[in-house]
Structure 1
Amino acid sequence: MKKQRPTILVTNDDGITAPGIKVLMEVMAELGDVVVVAPDAPQSAMGHAVTIAKPLRLDKVNIYDGIDMYQSSGTPVDCVKLAVNKVLHKKPDLLVSGINHGYNSSINVIYSGTMSAAMEGAIEGIPSIGFSLGDFRQDADFEPVRNYVKQVAEQVLEHGLPVGSLLNVNFPPIEEIKGMKICRQAVAKWKEEFDERIDPHGRKYFWLTGKFLLNDNGEDTDEFALSQGYASIVPVHFDFTAYNAIPFLNNLSFNSK
């Protein structure tokens, strides 16, 4: 009996016409039957936002021949929810998100729409991966990462992932990637700055800017691997419980009168 091809859901946060998602769907088409559900416009840094105060639109589009594609007015997480409930009517065998223009390493995973889409997949029990390339340019070169993306997806399709976990995969923007390393998330943060300006009506407004502060000298982190020319693979989970803090909290007197 011929083995059935897996169903692979492809999404992103850069929008359905972004170059990164085109590369991702091309690679996934080598592995299974691809369905794309992605935002109709860029939704970067949306985190795990969902749309509840306005209706969602979902339209079938024909952008690339031979690919079943839908665009939504919602967030990346909305796209995953719509894909499972209104397009596929089942859970796919694999969810891949990206390939994002720009790193989602370290603390950036918190803000990332790319990774939140993958996390929503993991919440649904779908093996899920977020892919990102450290290049914000519209004409970023994704060719060096194609084989690595395929390798990671193949391994997850074959072996699955531990319950409650997903993968955060980042690539350095170089022609010769040295390989892939399993890493931990580096300790870092953004130091925000706000560029204050005045609009034509004399009202004050702000543009958010900032600097990335790496507070981690470890050589086992995603930031270190990327700086050395390697792709980083960080296992992520959506259980935010700080288990190491439970003994500390148990020694406090929350129930005193």
Structure 2
Amino acid sequence: MKTAKPNILVVNDDGITAPGIKVLIEAMAAIGRVVVVAPDSPQSGMGHAITIGKPLRLDKVDLYEGIEIYRCSGTPVDCVKLAVNKVFKGQKPDLCVSGINHGLNNSINVLYSGTMSAAVEGAIESIPSIGFSLDDYNLDANFSHCVKYVKELALQVLANGLPVNTLLNVNFPNSDNIKGIKICRQANAKWAEEFDERVDPHKRPYYWLTGVFQLNDGGEDTDVWALEHNYVSVVPVQFDMTAHHAIPLLNNWTFNV
């Protein structure tokens, strides 16, 4: 049964007890009826992984007063799938919000992000969806300057909707002096990975992933530029990964088979 207030699904990838999701829950509770389904442990960097080789657990817990909240043993995407199928029982929520992530998910990071993959799954389910991230990896990060923007963007999406198969990737600078919101494109950048090789007590090598963020984009319309200049970056994202501009080129190929 549809209530007067919008039904809002809150998910994340940092885990059900992360400070960022608590801030997001409080912000959404001022707007609508909140239901939380979040991983029981951190799932950063999981991308769009789903659990297929083992059973999933979904347990109702009492963490925040007045909020219906579930702890899931799976990935962020599993959380959305279970929320739609088992918690909402096919009555899809009016909005899906993911985060607030500890650390940026701008530029190429969107491909690796569990935060954004949860929001993408919401969009796949035809739910208007937003992923929120803050440029601060600390567990005691201060999210207070994000709250008014989180509320405003959620209200705008609820009021205006989003284009089909589209969601929003929202990133906040770590600054109390935010200048406003910039609608951006995803910057052209990549990670130049390195692996720090070490040796365990059994003389076997093991590796820590490290790397350097390489920006190959000087545009002033990108999410990287916006964040560097203390703006909230908002990038409309689509999960159709077809390179439409390449189809005419490939249609000119001659296949000798």
Give distance in 1, aligned partners of 2:246 and 2:172: 33
Give distance in 2, aligned partners of 1:207 and 1:225: 31
Which residue number in structure 1 is paired with residue 120 of structure 2? 119
Deviation for aligned residue 1:88: 1.1
1:37 aligns with 2:37: yes
Which residue number in structure 1 is paired with residue 65 of structure 2? 65
Q: CA RMSD in A?
A: 0.7
Which residue number in structure 1 is paired with residue 75 of structure 2? 75
- 1:89-238 to structure 2, matched below 5 A, reads 89=89, 90-238=91-239
Deviation for aligned residue 1:106: 0.2
Q: Specify the code of the residue in structure 1 equivalent to 2:241.
A: F
- 1:83-120 CA-to-partner distances (Å, cap 9, x unmatched) read 00011112100000000000000000000000000000
Q: Specify the code of the residue in structure 2 equivalent to 1:44.
A: S
Q: Specify the code of the residue in structure 2 equivalent to 1:204.
A: P
1:18 aligns with 2:8: no
Q: Specify the code of the residue in structure 1 equivalent to 2:142.
A: D
Deviation for aligned residue 1:158: 0.6
Percent of paired sites with the same residue? 70
Give distance in 2, aligned partners of 1:151 and 1:204: 49
Which residue number in structure 1 is paired with residue 84 of structure 2? 84
Q: Secondary structure at the match of 2:149?
A: helix
Give distance in 2, aligned partners of 1:204 and 1:181: 45
Give distance in 1, aligned partners of 2:21 and 2:170: 15
Structure 2 regions of 5+ residues with no counterpart?
none
- 1:138-159 CA-to-partner distances (Å, cap 9, x unmatched) read 1111000100000000000111
Deviation for aligned residue 1:176: 1.6
Give distance in 1, aligned partners of 2:33 and 2:64: 14
1:51 aligns with 2:51: yes
- Give the length in aligned residue pairs: 254
Q: Secondary structure at the match of 1:107?
A: helix
Q: Secondary structure at the match of 2:206?
A: strand
- 1:157-200 CA-to-partner distances (Å, cap 9, x unmatched) read 11110000000000000012110000000000000000001111
Which residue number in structure 2 is paired with residue 4 of structure 1? 4
Q: Specify the code of the residue in structure 2 equivalent to 1:63.
A: L
Structure 1 regions of 5+ residues with no counterpart?
none
Q: Secondary structure at the match of 1:38?
A: strand
Q: Specify the code of the residue in structure 1 equivalent to 2:53.
A: A
Q: Secondary structure at the match of 2:242?
A: coil
Deviation for aligned residue 1:253: 1.2
Give distance in 2, aligned partners of 1:140 and 1:210: 23
Give distance in 1, aligned partners of 2:122 and 2:5: 19
Query: Could you state the TM-score of these two structures normalised by the residue count of structure 1?
Result: 0.98
Give distance in 2, aligned partners of 1:159 and 1:214: 33
Query: Could you state the TM-score of these two structures normalised by the residue count of structure 2?
Result: 0.98
